[in-house]
Structure 1
Amino acid sequence: MYSVLFRQAEESSQLAGAKGMNLIKLTKHGLPVPDGFIIQTNALARFMEDNQLHDSSENIENAIIAGTFSDEIKNELTSSFYELRESYHSVAVRSSSASEDLEGASFAGQYETYLNIKTEEEFLNKVKECWASFFSGRVSRYKKKMNNQIAEPLMGVVVQGLINSDISGVIFSQNPVTHDDRELLISASYGLGEAVVSGSVTPDTYIVHKGSFEIQKEMGLKEIYMESAAEGIAEKETSEDMRSRFCLTDEQVIELTELTKKTEALYGFPVDLEFGIANHKLYLLQARPITTIEQDKKAAEEERNFMITDKDMDDFWLNMESNIEGPVSPLFSSFIVPALEYGLKKSMRQFPIGVIVDEVKVYRGHIYSKNQGGQQLPPEDSAEELFPILSERMYDIIHNTYLPFYRTLDQLAQTEHTPESALDAFKKLKAFYLTAYEEHFNIVFPQILLTNKLQAMYQNIQGETENSHFYEMLTGVMNKSLETDRRLWQFSVEVRENPNLTALFEHAQPEHLLERLEQTDEGRQFLQKVNEFLQEYGWRSVKSHDLIEQTWAENPFYALTHIQNYVRNGYHFDNEFKKTIKKREKLYNEFFQSIEDPALQKEFERYYQWTLNSSNIKDDHHFYIDAMLDAKARVFLLKVGELLAESGVIQDREDLWFLYDDEVENALLHPVSLKEKAEKRRQMFHEYELAQAPAYLGTPTEAQLKAAEEIVGAVIEDEKNTENDIFGVAASSGIATGPVKVIRDASEFSQFTPGDILVCKMTTPLWTSLFQDAKAIITDTGGILSHAAIIAREYGIPAVLGTRAATERLRDGDIVTVDGNSGKITVVSRS
């Protein structure tokens, strides 16, 4: 097949070329793209073969234009052309190279575009001219300049219905002058877009704030406009009236802004668009990445020794996203990256868990680890003497190491600091992160060794590698996350016993709950109890593993929304927890009875009881270390931010997160303005949040990928995936069918309704309230031991994790069946 319709092509089709893939993606996601088809790259390869041409042939451009089509290719292409012409007066023919529009090499203006094509002869000639442009001298020079190594003749052609635009132009979703991602820039003029793209006119310019929709305008001369003629394109002068007014109304500017925001959200990175407006209808003609942003970014960001360099790219780096969500702020990266590397190296020597981490570094705000290719297998008796006391040992470490330092942080957060005292406390906090993560892995790794040993025994007895039932045999043990949920549920019971509070919680919008409670005596009394609860259980951040977002202890809103959810859904924590325990006991007894050898039974029971007793470690260490350290540190560091804001270093105390540790230390004693630097990094951070970070960097071997998957789950999309089948990790057993709801962050929680199937990138403890209502869980990242897997098993709902593709492939309202036994998701119907 040499041609394929936009709406029928696969989004990831490499045969479409970059421009073609963009148009396919836009069409598939329902954006207003004119119909068209792709002449795939294999058509050029076949054409060259038929005409005995090679990319090294002399005068290859002329040879392609003089070449002839085989009947097979000609018939297929002209059939697609005539089918498109039934709906459009004429078509546009554009090159679509596999190298074009790629990050770092836009090839803008290097290939060909032909407009107003009406006849078969014109169409076939323009296709050959697009193909010939792949070999032109200017493209070769540009490829060399951009270090683009693609040498194969991978040129597709886009054939699209031509929109005879009254107004057209281009949009940059991030202001290309200031690089402010809160603003977009529109350049627009009359007629077809070629006048704006080619620079033939001085267009009107609109800068729009994407949040407030505030518009700044600058009128251009709009000297000419282009329109379709009997043949080709005609260039005409604009009238005085056309030149004296803006070509777009404010309503049209806002409509274009909404379209741009949708497109940017779809791609996950800044884009530039081409658009046309005909008969008051808006069309999206093209979208591509803004390729200069990476260069600007590199110029704006100073290198730190814990950042991945171009030289590092030769190694295999694994994204630690299943443990550390999304990008991290500059200040937090200064603390966490050295701490992770230090702690991992020390504990991996003492407790070898089967993988070796050489380094931990940051790439585009995301944390990656460099893993050695080979595996270090643990000794048979590694940490054996610790297995019976793992949980008690953890609590000894917490009480002796962490809690005393947290009390110090609490005092520091209440202190009015001098620059000298703030600097001293800041350095002590940095040093404690090293200690904290040394002990973190000292606690976690022995428990991993024990669980792995029991799992190996289970698989040897069971004779298969299915693991979801194994981990369900370890559920129903109270831990700090479940304890927190239970306390919140008990608050909901108290609410339901009070008619006034019940009415308030059932009917008030979440954002108004706090205000409404503060208006009555019983509401204030209830809030007092919640605040007391938060002083013990509220040391967790809205964004796990960072300093950048509020903690629950700072704002009761987050706890109140969880209580409200319990009130509304009638969930009974104790009853459901008892069901989980019964299921665990049933699974264990059935498995235990299947062991025929009494000695093996005894050995398995011993290791099982040790593992069950220590199963609280996964959540309790997160509660006291991962979450609490960052939350307590944040509250203290806000005092440091206040000092720097008072001395003019930063604008606001929370700009502190966008400075590195050395900058904070220097600025405390030698204040200089870092406002511009902090603001640029804030913009970059938000850009990193939108972008899809690679699951890994470098070119790993199969052995490295396999080892990585054992740690973090799938790192590449399953090759068995089809249009309606998605495969992942079977993490919690059961089968459920229901409507998809894609949730990207906490701001969208209110959109989730009982009976929905939760689809997200990953979950953190903040997401637990959604599990009470969800029929099933699907994630992009994470494995059998991730937060989503653990909580899904505790709540007894099916889960398929680590799909790498669910948030892209599934849309709100799609009906899917989630099989947590096999790890398969089946699309029943599309919304």
Structure 2
Amino acid sequence: MLARVGGKAANLGETMGAGLPVPPGFCLTTEAYRRAVGPAGLEGVHAALAATGTDDLAGLATLAARARGLILAVDVPPEIADAVRESYAALGTDVPVAVRSSATAEDLPLASFAGQQDTYLNVVGADSVLDAVRKCWASLWTDRAVTYRATHGISPSTVALAVVVQSMVDAEVAGVLFTANPVTGRRFEAVIDASPGLGEAVVSGAVNPDHFVVDTATQEILERREGDKGLAIRPLAGGGTERINLVPDSVPSLSDGQIRELAALGSRVERHYGAPQDIEWAIDAADKLFLVQSRPITTLYPLPDPRPDLRVPEGARVFLCFSLAQGLTRPLTPMGMAGFRMIASSVARAAGFDVPEPRNGPAPFRQAGQRLFVDLTPVVRSSVGRAIVPRVFDIMEARSATVLRRLFADPRFSVTLRSPWPLLRHVVPLAAKAKVPESFLRALLRPEAALQRVDRFGARFRGGLVVPDTATPAERLEQAERILGERLFHIVPAVMPLPALGFALLAVAGKLAGQGSESGALQGVLRGLPNNVTTEMDLALWQLATDIRSHPGAAAVFEGASPAELARRYRSGGLPAVLQSGLAGFLARYGHRAVAEIDLGMPRWSDDPAHILGVLANYLKLDDPALAPDRQFANAAREAEAQIERLTAIAGSKGGPAGRMRARMVRGALTRTRLFAGLRELPKYHIVEGLASVRKQLTAVGEALAAAGSIAEADDIFFLDFAEAHRGLAGESLRGIVAERREAYDAEMGRRRIPRVLLSDGTEPEALHGTGAGTAAGVLSGTPASAGTVTARARVILDPQGAALEPGEILVAPSTDPGWTPLFLTAGGLVMEMGGPNSHGAVVAREYGIPAVVGVPDATSAISTGQLITLDGGAGTVAPAAG
């Protein structure tokens, strides 16, 4: 149906069939469009548009104008014209109608394309209708429509246009109705904008309408805001419309009864479609309400999937986006999500919680918008949870902490549990079993032995990931599930006590040193940390760049060759020896890493080294020895050691035995801080090693499924879950499932706004209070992460794959994970939308000594590439700079 009549007509036909009050009319199908414009010769325009990039706006506009001209010059075929005249006559004699475009790429569940094609109001007479139809056909090729489709990757040759001809409502008042609040996300609030005259005034933004918000459950009118209603669009007697200036009126354009009637109509439409709707409506002089259009609201973030295995009513719930807190803005592949279910189940079981089916994940595990959410309601309703969890987020993801604290005043989430015993009942036995107290004691008394023990654990862990080459696909699949469900959990209790102790000792040292040990002084101790596997990785890559630079022939291959071409030559063994062997050595050690590496579906650097080769090309541009990352890192380490001496001196400044003892304790605490704090990166490093092993086994299973025809290609396995993979090995075809999920995944890739916290009614709490990101002077505020001030050009990067960062530029990113950090080595500063002072990006920025501000709302849209900005990492601000 959509291919024949387009989104608008399909929706109107469905609403009419459901008995909803839709004005009568008829539709010219897409076949009429194709038959009419077929002789116009659009094929060349289609091909040219397909070859024109979205950055060439002038080229797109020229081609769009050419397409419109070709269509406006065609004659409507006689059989189509006769059908239009006959259908129009059936509506009445010279009935005023609206002639509206209905494109095949319009009013879709994930992209509304609203307003991209034209509508003509109060058209009177058959000849005028035919002329409006031709103009609607041409409007498929407006500049805005062509650019919009190009941005969304829709091929020009696949779109067509139907036209809806619908009796006009001589509206006394009209407007729009959203059956869910499009700003806050609340699903039980209807939002109505209304103004006198035709609804075009409201839809086009030509008037400040009256604004109403209604609780659809109780019919209570929650909000009223009167607009000036200084303009009305009215129909003219012979056709067309006129704009009439009105005296601003404080009288509402709708009565309370009409407001509630509209809200009730919206509820009916939403129930019919099973999804929130964006509705255009009109009320005539006889007080009759008409629905003139309905389409899905595409901007709402999806609600978390229900858990059919949970039998009890849930009530109001609080969900935290775990994948966003991990710095992952993109969706997770289905297999990536399935992997997280297994990992989460292993954690929950180890803590003594009941998990009936590990493949479903534990009870708090939820999925929304192909991202991982965790049900934090028990935490928010617990006095212990309120005390602990926001403090953790203060240092890891400060904006999430702020949002959570605001929920504490919501009576729906009042405290119901005040005893710490339920938490201790799960945590204490787990900590004892993992020998966490013993790890703390060993780290305090024998720090070097503690480090060696962590190294031995890593070696044993890697040894347990090996799978014999003779393993069958079924055995490989079972091994993948074992790694996820049994082995990964042990990493955290084996390693994390040491960095936790390191940061705790930093705080203790601050208390002991007293005055002069403010936060900034303590943060200086964390620069140039040893035992940080991520900085070791980045410096190893820099060393490879240094080796390449010393061989002119090797450096020359980066000139004129793309990273993809260099990767192809690497796989064929065709790069210069220093680069070929050096890259092989780097990938042998670090090739399991990737951008968005916590997702099993993401290729590892060893799968495709193009990203690393692009980073190496960037490193080779840095020719100032003073800016060399290894030198800066060494300087940072020396400054940190000097800071320990200063803090030790402060602690012992009062003299006497007590002062000397305090000084020794401060030195011992800070020395252990530097030994252990860098290990915060190690648990994730080992987890990613495990994920890379799982991915390797799954790829082999995918190859077997592709060979058997169950899926089209090996990578399709990452769009399945484990149960489906087992069914595929049993011979079931899974091609349909894969195709559907790939389409949904590609659609979600375009979503930019991801809520940190989401309530079960769809509310995004952060939207209720605004972001507070900036000031009137254009200053953006965030969380200080790495002290220092720098003024430089900004480089906004949304995806590091293939990104080029010129030396000294300030990197502006939505978030970062270890896959981003090779870019840090040549960055002059860092701005992130996510994170807290101890998030991954902040820690690495401090170690490299580059100023950083994190948790800056909407930084990637508020700052543009090339803009000169001043970043103050101590104050936590980003401001425009002169020049």
TM-score (norm 2): 0.57
> Residue 291 of structure 1: which of 297, 310, 320 is its match?
297
- Note if 1:311 corresponds to 2:314: yes
Counterparts of 1:500-511 in structure 2 under 5 Å?
500-511=553-564
Deviation at 1:657, TM superposition (A): 1.8
- Note if 1:331 corresponds to 2:335: yes
Distance (whole Å) between structure 2 residues aligned to residue 734 and residue 459 of structure 1:
25
Distance (whole Å) between structure 2 residues aligned to residue 485 and residue 649 of structure 1:
40
Counterparts of 1:331-410 in structure 2 under 5 Å?
331-340=335-344, 342-343=346-347, 346=350, 359-369=364-374, 370=376, 371=379, 372-374=382-384, 375=387, 384-387=440-443, 388=447, 389-400=449-460, 402-408=461-467
Measured against aligned partners, the alpha-carbon deviations of 1:400-439 in whole angstroms (never above 9, x if no partner) come to: 2x1122222xx3xx44735x4344334433433xx31233
Measured against aligned partners, the alpha-carbon deviations of 1:213-247 in whole angstroms (never above 9, x if no partner) come to: xxxxxxxxxxxx97445979xxxxxxxxxxxxxxx
Deviation at 1:808, TM superposition (A): 3.4
Distance (whole Å) between structure 2 residues aligned to residue 687 and residue 824 of structure 1:
34
Does the 8 Å contact 1:271/1:290 carry over to 2? Answer: yes
Q: Alpha carbons of 1:520 and 1:762: their partners in 2 closer, same or farther (altered >3 Å)?
A: closer
Q: Alpha carbons of 1:475 and 1:116: their partners in 2 closer, same or farther (altered >3 Å)?
A: closer
- Note if 1:765 corresponds to 2:818: yes
> Residue 593 of structure 1: which of 636, 639, 649 is its match?
649
Partner residue in 2 for 1:572: 628
- Note if 1:417 corresponds to 2:417: no
SS, match of residue 811 in structure 2: strand
> Residue 675 of structure 1: which of 735, 738, 742 is its match?
735
SS, match of residue 812 in structure 1: coil
In structure 2, give the amino acid aligned to 1:795: Y
Distance (whole Å) between structure 2 residues aligned to residue 289 and residue 591 of structure 1:
64
Deviation at 1:767, TM superposition (A): 1.5
SS, match of residue 772 in structure 1: helix
Q: Alpha carbons of 1:546 and 1:148: their partners in 2 closer, same or farther (altered >3 Å)?
A: farther
Partner residue in 1 for 2:141: none
Distance (whole Å) between structure 2 residues aligned to residue 101 and residue 664 of structure 1:
38
SS, match of residue 672 in structure 1: coil
Deviation at 1:813, TM superposition (A): 3.3
Does the 8 Å contact 2:791/2:871 carry over to 1? Answer: yes
Partner residue in 2 for 1:605: 667
- Note if 1:774 corresponds to 2:800: no
Counterparts of 1:802-813 in structure 2 under 5 Å?
802-813=855-866
Deviation at 1:395, TM superposition (A): 1.7
Does the 8 Å contact 2:526/2:846 carry over to 1? Answer: no
- Note if 1:151 corresponds to 2:211: no
Deviation at 1:744, TM superposition (A): 0.6
Measured against aligned partners, the alpha-carbon deviations of 1:566-595 in whole angstroms (never above 9, x if no partner) come to: 212136343222211122122222222111
SS, match of residue 558 in structure 2: helix
Distance (whole Å) between structure 2 residues aligned to residue 578 and residue 805 of structure 1:
34
Measured against aligned partners, the alpha-carbon deviations of 1:17-58 in whole angstroms (never above 9, x if no partner) come to: xxxxxxxxxxxxxxx9xxxxxxxxxxxxxxxxxxxxxxxxxx
SS, match of residue 736 in structure 1: strand
Task: After superposing the two structures, state which structure 1 stretch, 671-680 or 99-108, moved more.
Answer: 99-108
Measured against aligned partners, the alpha-carbon deviations of 1:649-684 in whole angstroms (never above 9, x if no partner) come to: 333222222222222233323x33333333332333
In structure 2, give the amino acid aligned to 1:583: E
SS, match of residue 749 in structure 1: coil
- Note if 1:654 corresponds to 2:698: no
Distance (whole Å) between structure 1 residues aligned to residue 571 and residue 439 of structure 2:
53
Deviation at 1:743, TM superposition (A): 1.0
> Residue 692 of structure 1: which of 745, 750, 753 is its match?
753
Does the 8 Å contact 2:563/2:802 carry over to 1? Answer: no
Deviation at 1:755, TM superposition (A): 2.9
Identity of counterpart residues, as a percentage? 21
Deviation at 1:288, TM superposition (A): 12
Partner residue in 1 for 2:610: 557
Does the 8 Å contact 2:622/2:628 carry over to 1? Answer: no
Deviation at 1:786, TM superposition (A): 1.5
SS, match of residue 569 in structure 1: coil
> Residue 736 of structure 1: which of 757, 766, 790 is its match?
790
Does the 8 Å contact 2:531/2:676 carry over to 1? Answer: no
Q: Alpha carbons of 1:684 and 1:534: their partners in 2 closer, same or farther (altered >3 Å)?
A: same
In structure 2, give the amino acid aligned to 1:587: Q
Distance (whole Å) between structure 2 residues aligned to residue 159 and residue 530 of structure 1:
68
Deviation at 1:444, TM superposition (A): 1.2
In structure 1, give the amino acid aligned to 2:755: P
Distance (whole Å) between structure 2 residues aligned to residue 565 and residue 742 of structure 1:
16
Q: Name stretches of at least 5 consecutive residues in structure 2 with no aligned partner.
A: 1-60, 62-171, 246-275, 281-292, 354-361, 389-419, 429-435, 654-658
- Note if 1:643 corresponds to 2:704: yes
Distance (whole Å) between structure 1 residues aligned to residue 802 and residue 575 of structure 2:
30
Does the 8 Å contact 1:539/1:628 carry over to 2? Answer: yes
Deviation at 1:115, TM superposition (A): 5.9
What RMSD, in angstroms, separates the aligned Cα atoms of the two structures?
Answer: 4.7
Distance (whole Å) between structure 2 residues aligned to residue 519 and residue 646 of structure 1:
25
TM-score (norm 1): 0.61
Deviation at 1:797, TM superposition (A): 0.8
Does the 8 Å contact 1:320/1:367 carry over to 2? Answer: yes
Partner residue in 1 for 2:41: none
Distance (whole Å) between structure 2 residues aligned to residue 442 and residue 431 of structure 1:
17
Distance (whole Å) between structure 1 residues aligned to residue 774 and residue 861 of structure 2:
17
Q: Alpha carbons of 1:364 and 1:127: their partners in 2 closer, same or farther (altered >3 Å)?
A: closer
Does the 8 Å contact 1:96/1:157 carry over to 2? Answer: no
Deviation at 1:736, TM superposition (A): 1.1
Distance (whole Å) between structure 2 residues aligned to residue 112 and residue 391 of structure 1:
71
Q: Alpha carbons of 1:158 and 1:759: their partners in 2 closer, same or farther (altered >3 Å)?
A: farther
Distance (whole Å) between structure 1 residues aligned to residue 634 and residue 744 of structure 2:
47
In structure 2, give the amino acid aligned to 1:152: E
Deviation at 1:801, TM superposition (A): 0.8
SS, match of residue 152 in structure 1: strand
Distance (whole Å) between structure 2 residues aligned to residue 781 and residue 323 of structure 1:
9
Task: After superposing the two structures, state which structure 1 stretch, 588-597 or 378-387, moved more.
Answer: 378-387
Partner residue in 1 for 2:583: 530
Task: After superposing the two structures, state which structure 1 stretch, 653-662 or 511-520, moved more.
Answer: 511-520
In structure 2, give the amino acid aligned to 1:732: S
- Note if 1:620 corresponds to 2:692: no
